[in-house]
Amino acid sequence: MLKKDDPTFLALKDTAQKYMPQFIEALTKKTEGFKFVIKSDFKDGDTHEHMWSQILEYKSDKFSGTFIDSAVDVKNVHMGDTVLVNVNDVEDWAIYDDKDERVAGAFSEKYLESKR
């Protein structure tokens, strides 16, 4: 289980935020065949889960898209729900090609896998 104040994870979030302009630029070009996803914190009362959403648009410092993860403890969001996420709340992001291979981002994935 990852602690809320895990210093390595927080540093990886800072890395994702540092390179956010790269993600936004690629998203706004709407390159055919690429999938854009972000990880953010979803809350249900005092319960938190860090999960992925596929992003379709960026406007006024907010990403809009579709929730694509499987919530375990958070019960107020479901696969396919529409989401709106503030750019400052993005914890990680990734861009995948049409073969579902990552081409950029996913800064926290390797670290999180080591914690399982």
Strands (E), the chain: 35-44, 47-59, 62-67, 82-86, 90-96, 102-105
* H runs (alpha helix) in 1-116: 7-18, 20-29, 109-114
pLDDT of 102 reads: 85
Q: What is the mean pLDDT of residues 15-21?
A: 95
- Which CATH number characterizes residue 66's domain? 2.30.30
The answer to whether residue 86 is domain-embedded is yes
Domains held by the chain: number: 1
pLDDT > 90 in the chain, percent: 66
What radius of gyration, in Å, describes the C-alpha atoms of the chain?
14
For residue 50, what are the domain limits? 7-114
The answer to whether residue 96 is domain-embedded is yes
Q: Name the 3-class secondary structure at 36.
A: strand
The answer to whether residue 67 is domain-embedded is yes
Whether the model pTM is above 0.85: yes
The answer to whether residue 1 is domain-embedded is no
The answer to whether residue 2 is domain-embedded is no
Q: List, for residues 35-91, the tens digit of each pLDDT value.
A: 999 999 999 999 989 899 999 999 999 999 999 999 999 999 999 999 999 999 999
Check if the beta carbon of residue 21 is closer than 8 Å to that of residue 103. no
